[in-house]
Each structure stands twice: as structure tokens, then as C-alpha cells.
Amino acid sequence: MTRRIRLIADDYGLAPGVSAAILDLLDRGRLTGTSCMTGFPEWALEAERIRPLCGRVAVGLHLTLTDQPAVTGRSSLAPEGRLPPLRSLALPVLRGRIDDRDVHAELDAQYSRFVEALGRRPDFVDGHQHVHFLPVVRTWLRSRLHEEADRPALRGAPVLAGTLAATPKVAAIAALAAGFNRSMQHAGFTIFEPLAGIYDWRRPEKFASVLQAAVEALPERGLFMCHPGHVDETLRARDPMQSVREIEFAVLASDDFGASLARAGVAIMGGEG
């Protein structure tokens, strides 16, 4: 029997080169789908480009609360109109220094931009730097999306055992995600789990082996997250994760990767999952 896994690319909409690379991989059938960042000026154009694929591939919302301009402008979340670094977000949120209402307003705005541009709700929701695991975002997911008849799926927690885990980074993210899968399933959400693909992107040579381990070990419908892209001036101005995106793209587009899927008896799921 063929085992099907999900490959989802983060950061569609971050920069034109990132979006172009993701569209290329979607066209090659090397991805299940992608999650979209909707806060940038180019979002309307990028939405036009991916709209024809909606329904055939999974198109989700990549909730963004760090390092980029805030759609809602200045607030306790973004005093100067720019979202804080992750290290300046989690603890202040937990200690009440950032108003939950400002966080929810930013998430509402990003969600609305997705729906307005694509004319549909997202197939799934995840978070840039895993911010969807934060308690304040969990509350928003329940209150904003719970009542929708076709509510989106959610990206779940990473694997903590076996060949897909065993790194401090995975353990830290798993700690942040503690209880997420169970509580959100109880609230009626479908969870994409288990999650693989977390590695130190400052060591891009690791990506191919991390991907191969996932191909060999992920269960049916398991999820591998990735960040392919082409580096352009917009990306250089917005995000420190740059040349590694080219490496991820090259690996995912390669004949070797296609052959490894065939050897493992694995197929990449389409948007129906």
C-alpha cells in the first residue's frame, strides 16, 4: 500500500521569489499545499496567482505575530507598527503586557485579508515561528473559527519520539505546543499531525537528511513543513532565512527526491486531505 504524507510550504506571500518557488513545486506535485502570509503589500497579486490552485492544493493561513509590519498598525502588540521578535512576544503576552484584544485584532485582520483576496476560507491554519501554539492564539482560534461549519484544520505539535525528533529545538516547540492537539481536537478541529521538518536552518546541509527521515518514518497523513524559495531583494529585506530556501527548493524539486518517494512507497497528498 502507498503511504501518503503531507508536505506543506510555509511563507507564501513573504517575497516574490518565495511565492514563485512554491508555485513551481505545487505545479510539479511536490507539495500538498502552502500557508500564506497576508500582511504584505503584494498579497493581492500573490493571491491572484494562487487562486486558480485553490481546491486542488491545500491553501492555508500563516498567522504572523513576529518581525513584520502589523496589519493593524500601532498597538500594545506593535508599539511602532512592527510586530516584535519572538523573544519579545511570548513572555509579555503571558504576563499581560500585551493586550489580548490587540493580538486578536491583528489575527482578525490577517484572516480577513485571506478571505477577501481568495473568496474562501483557509483550508488550514498554522503559525509563523509556531505562534499558533501560544495561549492567546489558541483562544482566538476557538472564538473566531470554532463556529464555522467548514472550519480549517490546524497544524499540530512536533514528534517527540523516534528518528524525527531528538533535538533541543523540537523539544522547545513541543513544550510550547503542550496540550494543543488534544484541546483543539476537543474543540472540533482537525489536526495535521505529527509534525516533522524542524531543524536548524543555519545548517542547510541537514535538510536533505531531515526530509529523507520523514519520508521513511512519517505515518499516513503525517506532516512535513518546509521553507523553499528563491532569494530576491524583497526577501533579503524581510527575513534572515535566505540561502537555505534555495537549498530546500533544489532538494524538493530534484529527481533524487522523487526517486526516494518511490523507493519508500510514499505519495505526497493533494489538497483533498
Mean pLDDT of the chain: 94
Dist CA 69 CA 81 (whole Å): 6
pLDDT above 90 for 261? yes
What's the whole-number mean pLDDT along residues 203-220?
95
Instruction: Give the pLDDT of residue 93.
Output: 81
3-state helix, strand, coil in the chain (%, to 5): 45, 15, 35
pLDDT above 60 for 34? yes
- Do residues 201 and 169 make contact, with C-beta atoms less than 8 angstroms apart? no
Residue 102 Cα to chain centre, angstroms: 22
SS3 category, 13: coil
pLDDT above 70 for 122? yes
What's the whole-number mean pLDDT along residues 143-148?
81
Class of domain 3-268: alpha beta
Domains in the chain: boundaries: 3-268
Nearest to 269 by CA among 31, 52, 36, 60: 31
- The amino acid at residue 257 is F
- Please work out, in degrees rounded to the nearest 5, the angle formed at the alpha carbon of residue 272 by the alpha carbons of 162 and 8: 45
pLDDT above 70 for 35? yes
* pLDDT tens sequence across 221-232: 999 999 999 999
